Structure 1
Amino acid sequence: MTLDPRYSVLFEPVKIGPVTAPNRFFAVPHATGHSPLMPNGSIAMRAMKAEGGWGTVAMQLAEIDPSSDISNLPIEKFWDETDIASHARLTARIREHGALSAIEIGHSGMRSRGLANGYPVLGPSSLPVLKPEVPVQAKAMDKEDIRSLRRSYRAAVQRAKQAGYDIVYVYAAHDASVLWHFLTPAYNFRTDEYGGNFENRVRLLREVLEETKEEARDEIAVAIRFAVHELSGPKAILSTGEGRDVVERLAELPDLWDVNVSGWSRDSGTSRFDPEGAQEEFTSFVKTVTSKPVVGVGRFTSPDAMVSQIRRGVLDLIGGARPSIADPFLPNKIKEGRVDEIRECIGCNICVASDAYSIPLRCTQNPTMSEEWRRGWHPERIPAAPEPKNLLVVGSGPAGLECAFTLARAGHQVTVADKSTELGGRVSKECRLKGLSAWSRVRDYRLYQLQQMANVVLYPESEVTADDVADFGADHVFVATGSHWRDDGLGRSRYTAIQGFRGNALTPDHILDGGIIAGSVVVYDDDHYYMGNALAEHLAALGSEVHLVCPLPSIAGWMGYTLEQPRVVAALMEAGVKMYPNTTATGWENGVLRIKRSDTYQELQPIRADNLLTVTARLPNDALGEAIRKSGSVGCTVIGDAVAPGIIQAAVFSGHKAAREFLGTEPENRIFRRETPKLFV
């Protein structure tokens, strides 16, 4: 297969100052969960993107000085010469594939915590740091602090050159840069030449950018990453105001503009709230005021959407963070005419949640993400089976489809059987809820690939028993029969049943299977992810009066990690859902939910409703696996939710790992390669 001529513009080279990108695919800086103590994992992950055809691959934010101290996150360090070696290894690996490398240097200013390194947090004014629950304040930088900061930027540019980077970034975005903090009147209350009017507030950003250009000496390109519009936070910088003013003031100074919106929760908005290309409304003006190339993001996975951005003069380079995680080989697949094989990002932000937990990134679509070095997994290459076998996969949810696809790619004969008419398991049901339609890509990508393979047979509407398995004659069977929601109230904050729930409460399965709820409903959410609030919004849209009760202090608490929690609450309010955080259910009887405060146990006014919907925990559907094991007729591996109910990403990973284990490529003791510290004493 060859490149579709419609997409040829995506593979044109783009000159960026003194360097030239080989194509328009630009893997922008993003956090990876790899700390500076885990360089091998970081290098292998980014090298994979270069191998996959991304013409420019960027390192994440690298702090230039110990006073930049985001203590609880695995931020890259770029303090002095000791940091150069690992970065030089990265640039060499990227260069092997003909791609450019970039590094985003920066100082986090008031976004710092000041807890790990012992230096005061630095900012334009004496204010609390930008994390209200942290009892730390920033020091108002004096003139020597500013001079020292500028020297640190200059030194970091020199280190970037020594490490072999082609592009060095000046970072001023996401409400996470001291340069941004000086720029915005929301944080800058100074009365000297660095505060007050716009020209004064932009001074430090301009000085650092000019000095970065001086240090670069046209040997490497200089980019600026700038948020032209605040969609959250103070909203003092807008694309119709000072956001545009900054671009106009500095228009020709950098070699490249990387533009986005702020804060991070809106720049990395999920598919539940933001469609592909959602930032265009705010960033499209940039190319009208600068002659320099412009890169931007929009969770682009469609080559048609990418071409449209180029043809209409919105962007020169297609930025990708999450799409490059979901499919590092996206550019090559377009180039080779394999668009149908693109593993599209679903916009769930499990990758973001991983970084928030300070662990290497996980991805729902790409189970090999962060496993490139430590497990040696490649997203496009599966080891060939030494001897093809006849394998049966029971269940076509995310675990079953991923397992079947991986085994089939290895050369095995694979049969997939599912009792449902529609293949896809839980994904096929959940993607029908408002805002979750993109999640169908988990099913669609795998199912399409399986349908093209001659060594795969798919059997929907085929319920399988242990006797059927014995009669089938498979060499091995993988059981991916999923899970079901509990109706007894046992959940994440309580490990015992709630009086009156069992036999009376409805569960998400009722609605996902097409059941109807008539009248008012109280949703008891002790799951704290998307299901409870998605169903509450769904039922409200159907006309029900909905009460959402949650025993934790905040609604949808875990969705803070996916950056969605504030928008979820806003959506529920708009839908008219009545919310009761910090509220524990104690019983249900005759249409009345008895409740109390979770913290003080104070009895509260009961809630009356026609229906109770409990969203708490799930039980694995493991009966078939147990029956097969007892029969001893064939080797059996239970995977996904049938082992341990979890998120969709965990199910996909479980299916992939089980397939690799069957192929014999995984260590028997389950211990993969680790990055261990070098001992000095």
Structure 2
Amino acid sequence: MKKYPNLSKPIKLGNVTFRNRMFASPIGATDINADCVPGERTRAFYELRGKGGAAAVTMSELVVHPETDGSHMLHLDLQTVGALASFTFCADSIRRHGAVASIELSHSGQYAGTYMADKNKKQGLTQFGPSDGVRPDGMKVSALTKEQIADIVKSYAEAATLAKRVGFQMVMIHAGHTWLLNQFISPFFNKRTDEYGGSFDNRIRFTLEVLAAVREAVGPMFPIEIRMSGSELFEGGYDLQEGIKIAKAVEPYVDLIHVSAGSYQFGFFTTHPSMFGAHGMNVYLAEEIKKHVSKPVATIGALNDPEMMEEIIASGKADVVYMGRALLADPYLPQKVVAGEDDKIVKCLRCFACMAERPISQTRRCAVNPLIGREIEGTEVPVSRKSKKILVVGGGVAGLKAAVTSAQRGHEVILCEKDSELGGILKCEQAIDFKLEMYQLGLALEAQAREEGVEIRCNTTVDKAYIENIKPDAVILAVGSSPIVPPLPGIDGDNVVVVNDYYKNKEKVTDSVIVLGGGLAGCECAIHLAQEGKTVHLVEMRDELAVDANIRHRPILMKMIDELVNVHTGLQGLSISDEGLLCKDKDGKNILIPGTTVICAVGQRANRHIVEELYDVAPIVREIGDCIRPSNITNAMYEGYHAGLDI
């Protein structure tokens, strides 16, 4: 008997059987060449999720009509040399691991150029949509003519035909998230007065024409999936009741109704729930729509917990669960679920490292998975020709990852940690509910280390004599960082808690709190305390908060701060008393910020003194993580993994 029988159960769509109910949602490719065809990194990027046990893996956003959608995304045509081969290799790579290869057919409409790294180039594009208008960013939008609409319908059919030809076993029609078909369906965007605008039947007409053309092109038993927003979730957009009407209208043409949520323009963080939102927050949309249709329904939205996903399928809320970021964090999540090894799952942190990387470097990266975007370099840890004795000093993220990887290489690994518990700075996160998965990351890495045979020695301080006694072939220094505690009068008072120790001193925190330090850690702590109903003042010396947050996480972070926290920037702390924090502003004026508890969150300092003491204690010494420079989980995981590979 499977631990999660409903998640593990196959499902048949059209004439294709899918091995379980866990599908990999479309996530943008990692390298697209000048001709808009996928490169080898993209092939490997999608292959890993097929290898990890997902039942279906969907390539993201094949642009069907480049003439009206100038986005530099995937194109598939007969004219581009190498296009058919590139897509064939991608489909093959997914299929050879037992997964179904699917591809998303897309048109960005008035958001063409969204993923361009050079945003100025968007100014040279003609933006097409259902109606003439101007986007919020000032870009002019031109209404598509009936002739253009007919040509786009034809292009969907041609793209589906070619997708089937190169080996994809399903196509997904993207009609959600404010992309073109959704723009026509939405009463907010569609102001046409012809047969494609006005009434619901008119607004849905374009989508139905596309679906009918694709069905005719691929045949009656080839699976077609439609991706739709169950509700646009903004004023002026359509609601769930109209979402139900959309699902009922498209049902005759499709085999799977994929219910997402929100819109690109107004609800990015609803479509992609942040760490501040509930897991499965959009499931209710699929649950309600499923009551009104007979075709299978899929749901999506920050799903990564097997028990939650099992309940969704078992209770009939949906027939399929889609995961995006969760399968970047752990591509083998489906395989672990089917095998009943869910305790080994590395969960997505919902930190947006993956989404923040793409507009910056046009690649992908994951905070907890150093393979993502670099799968072509190898996804298996090679065994070393000669086993060595390796000492890892420090049991935080970097040290644990290095220890696990070194052990997988066949080395004898000893990991020493000065504290009684492993996890390093991640231990601090257990007291903040929306960061619990960061704490669980430490637990997962510890479980992996023990499974790989790493000898773990807690409550152990390492010095030169200790290392000389062990005589390791290599030492990996992952001794981390320590919190900066400014020498302010009163900083050692009972009313002061260093943010790293908050999880041990929650009971000391009163209902009136000052957080000193407006970096990422301080901001997130302030939000947590405010959510508990406390009055929170956040004090930062600089003019901006959370400058160390990534470009995707920072906007939602700042929104939460604006709603919940009293912010004071440009203030330098002078002293702490029972009344609060005395500060000095830029004009030299003293200001008292009231509060009965002060949380010190002014940053971290690398433990360089330990590194300098131990840098020459073995033939090979490697420094990783925060002891080089305080950074983030992404860099710690990456450096730990590669240190383990290199020795």
TM-score band by shorter chain is 0.7 to 0.9
Say whether the 8 Å CA contact 1:434–1:534 is kept in structure 2. no
Q: Which residue is 2:439 aligned to?
A: 440
Residue 499 (structure 2) pairs with residue 508 (structure 1): yes
| 1:19 has 2:43 as partner | no
Q: 1:56: Cα distance to partner?
A: 1.2
For residues 614 and 343 of structure 1, do their structure 2 counterparts lie closer, same or farther at Cα, with a shift above 3 Å needed? closer
Structure 2: which amino acid aligns with 1:189? K
Identity across aligned pairs (percent)? Answer: 27
Q: Deviations over 1:499-547 (max 9, x none)?
A: 99999997533545638466855445453x3x12222134446775422
Given the alignment, which residue of 169, 188, 193 partners 1:166?
169
1:306 and 1:318 in contact (8 A); partners too: yes
Distance 1:174 1:654, change over 3 A: same
Letter of the structure 2 residue corresponding to residue 87 of structure 1: F
Check 1:67–1:608 CA distance in 2 against 1; reply closer, same or farther (3 A cut): farther
- Tell me the equivalent position of 1:413: 412
**For 1:478, what is the secondary structure of its paired residue?**
strand
Q: Deviations over 1:192-235 (max 9, x none)?
A: 2222222211111121111121222236321110010234x446
**1:261 lines up with 2:247 in the alignment:** no
Q: Distance in 1 between matches of 2:251 and 2:176?
A: 16
The answer on whether the counterparts of 2:46 and 2:94 sit within 8 Å (CA) in structure 1 is yes
Cα drift, residue 400 of structure 1: 0.8
Specify the code of the residue in structure 1 equivalent to 2:312. Q
Separation in structure 1 between the aligned mates of residue 450 and residue 401 of structure 2, nearest angstrom: 13
Distance in 1, matches of 2:70 and 2:583, equals 44
Q: Is the 8 A contact 1:173 1:225 kept in 2?
A: yes
> Using a 3 Å threshold, how does the CA distance of structure 1 residues 297 and 540 change in structure 2: closer, same or farther?
closer
Please tell me whether the aligned partners of residues 629 and 635 of structure 1 are also in contact (alpha carbons under 8 angstroms): no
Residue by residue over 1:586-619, the C-alpha shift from the partner in whole angstroms, topping out at 9 and shown as x without a partner, is: 56467433335xxxxx999945345765645432
CA separation of 1:253 and 1:560: change in aligned 2, threshold 3 A: farther
Query: 171, 176, 188: which one pairs with 2:190?
Result: 188
Structure 1 544/595 Cα, relative in aligned 2: closer, same or farther at 3 Å?
Answer: farther
The CA deviation at 1:317 is 2.2
Structure-2 separation of matches of 1:542 and 1:352: 29
Output the CA distance in 2 between the equivalents of 1:488 and 1:644. 19
Distance 1:335 1:518 in 2: 46
Q: Is the 2:261–2:282 contact (alpha carbons within 8 Å) kept by the matching residues of 1?
A: yes
Partners of 2:3 and 2:338 within 8 A in 1: no
Q: 1:236-255 to 2 correspondence within 5 Å?
A: 236-239=237-240, 241-255=241-255
Tell whether 2:584 aligns with 1:594.
yes
Q: Do 1:333 and 1:341's aligned partners in 2 also have CA atoms closer than 8 Å?
A: yes
RMSD of equivalent CA atoms: 3.1
* Offset, 1:346: 3.1
Write the distance in 1 (CA, Å) between the matches of 2:345 and 2:436: 17
Post-superposition shift, 1:168?
A: 1.4
Q: What SS class does the counterpart of residue 252 from structure 1 fall into?
A: helix
The 2-side partners of 1:390 and 1:349 are apart by 37
User: Shift in Å at residue 79 of structure 1?
Assistant: 5.9
1:28 equivalent in structure 2: 25
Partner SS, residue 536 of structure 1: helix
1:552 CA drift (Å): 7.6
What are the Cα deviations for residues 257-288 of structure 1, in whole angstroms up to 9, with x where unaligned? Answer: 1111113422221343222x332222112322
Is 2:243 the partner of 1:270?
A: no
Amino acid at match of 1:447: E
Q: Which among 298, 301, 314 is matched to residue 295 of structure 1?
A: 298
Q: 2:629 aligns with which of 644, 657, 661?
A: 644
Question: Within 5 A, what are the aligned runs for 1:46-195?
Answer: 46-67=46-67, 75-78=73-76, 81-82=79-80, 83-113=83-113, 116=121, 118-129=124-135, 132=136, 134-175=137-178, 177-195=179-197
Q: Which residue of 2 aligns with 1:363?
A: 366
Once the two structures are overlaid, the 10-residue window that deviates more, 158-167 or 390-399, is 158-167
Give TM-score, length-normalised by structure 2.
Answer: 0.88
Change (3 A) 1:33 1:355: farther
- What is the distance in 2 between the residues matched to 1:195 and 1:324? 39
Over 3 Å counting, the alpha-carbon distance change for 1:656 and 1:198 in structure 2 is same
Q: Report what 1:424 is aligned to.
A: 423
Query: Separation in 2 of the partners of 1:404 and 1:34?
Result: 31
Q: Does 1:474 align with 2:472?
A: yes
- Taking the aligned partners of 1:137 and 1:501, their CA distance within structure 2 comes to 58
Is 7-16 or 428-437 further displaced after alignment? 7-16
SS of equivalent to 1:229: coil
Q: Give the secondary structure class of the aligned counterpart of 1:259.
A: strand
| TM-aligned CA distance change 1:608 to 1:207, over 3 Å | same
Q: Using the alignment, how far apart are the partners of 1:206 and 1:502 within structure 2?
A: 66
Per-residue CA deviations over 1:595-647 (Å, capped at 9, x if unaligned) read 35xxxxx99994534576564543211222211125x4553211111112211
Deviation at 1:21, TM superposition (A): 2.1
Partner secondary structure for residue 258 of structure 2: strand
Does the CA-based 8 Å contact 1:61-1:76 persist in structure 2?
Answer: yes
Question: What is the aligned partner in structure 2 of residue 619 from structure 1?
Answer: 605
Q: Which structure 2 residue ranges, 5 or more long, are not aligned?
A: 115-119
Separation in 1, partners of 2:543, 2:430: 28
Contact 1:64 1:152 in 2 (8 A): yes
Deviation at 1:390, TM superposition (A): 1.8
Greater displacement, 469-478 / 60-69: 60-69
**C-alpha separation in 1, matches of 2:108 and 2:542:** 31
**For 1:50-103, what per-residue CA distance to the aligned partner results, in whole angstroms no more than 9, with x for missing partners?**
2222221110112223356575xx733346642332111101222222321111
Cα distance change, pair 518–119 in 1 and its aligned pair in 2 (3 A): closer
Helix, strand or coil for the counterpart of 1:220?
A: coil
CA separation of 1:408 and 1:144: change in aligned 2, threshold 3 A = same
Shift in Å, 1:319: 1.5
Q: Which moved more, 1:16-25 or 1:280-289?
A: 16-25
Contact 1:346–1:441 at 8 Å: present in 2 too?
no
> Among 289, 304, 308, which residue is 1:305 paired with?
308
Query: Aligned partners of 2:608, 2:201: CA distance in 1, in Å?
Result: 66
CA contact (8 A) 1:396 1:423 kept: yes
Closer, same or farther: CA 111–124 of 1 in aligned 2, 3 Å: same
Compared CA separation, residues 418 and 194, structure 1 to 2 (3 A): same
Deviation at 1:242, TM superposition (A): 1.0
Q: Given the superposition, is the C-alpha separation of residues 656 and 586 from structure 1 closer, same or farther in structure 2, using an over 3 Å criterion?
A: same
Deviates more, 1:292-301 or 1:409-418: 292-301
Equivalence for 2:117:
none
CA contact (8 A) 1:252 1:290 kept: no
Q: Is the 8 A contact 1:270 1:564 kept in 2?
A: no
Q: Which runs of 5+ in 1 are unaligned?
A: 490-498, 597-601, 663-681
Cα distance in structure 2, aligned partners of 1:292 and 1:657: 46
User: Aligned letter for 1:481?
Assistant: V
Letter in 2 for 1:359: Q
Instruction: State how many pairs are aligned.
Output: 624
SS of the residue 1:76 aligns to:
coil
Using a 3 Å threshold, how does the CA distance of structure 1 residues 588 and 346 change in structure 2: closer, same or farther? same
Which amino acid in 1 is paired with 2:249? R
Instruction: Indicate conservation of the 8 Å contact 2:4/2:340, yes or no.
Output: no
CA contact (8 A) 2:131 2:142 kept: yes
- State how far apart, in whole Å, the 1-side matches of 2:140 and 2:39 are: 32
For residue 423 of structure 2, give the secondary structure of its aligned residue in structure 1. Answer: coil
Distance (Å, rounded) in 1 between the aligned partners of 2:398 and 2:505: 23
The alignment partner of 2:605 has SS state of strand
Q: Give the TM-score normalised by the residue count of structure 1.
A: 0.83
CA, structure 1 residues 236+636, in 2 after alignment: closer, same or farther (shift >3 Å)? same
Counterpart secondary structure, 1:138: strand
Rounded to whole Å, the distance in 2 between the matches of 1:470 and 1:7 is 49
Task: Supply the distance in 2 between the matched residues of 1:248 and 1:517 (Cα, whole angstroms).
Answer: 53
Distance 2:370 2:50 in 1: 18
3-state SS of paired residue (1:196)? coil
Task: Judge conservation of contact 2:3–2:340 (CA < 8 Å) in 1.
Answer: no
| Alignment CA distance shift 1:550-1:207 (3 Å) | farther
Distance 1:557 1:203 in 2: 46
Q: Is the 8 A contact 1:269 1:563 kept in 2?
A: no
Identify the residue that residue 482 of structure 2 maps to in structure 1: 484
Q: Which moved more, 1:18-27 or 1:405-414?
A: 18-27
Which of 631, 643, 646 is matched with 1:658 structurally? Answer: 643
Q: Deviations over 1:26-62 (max 9, x none)?
A: 1121224433466111111211222222221110112
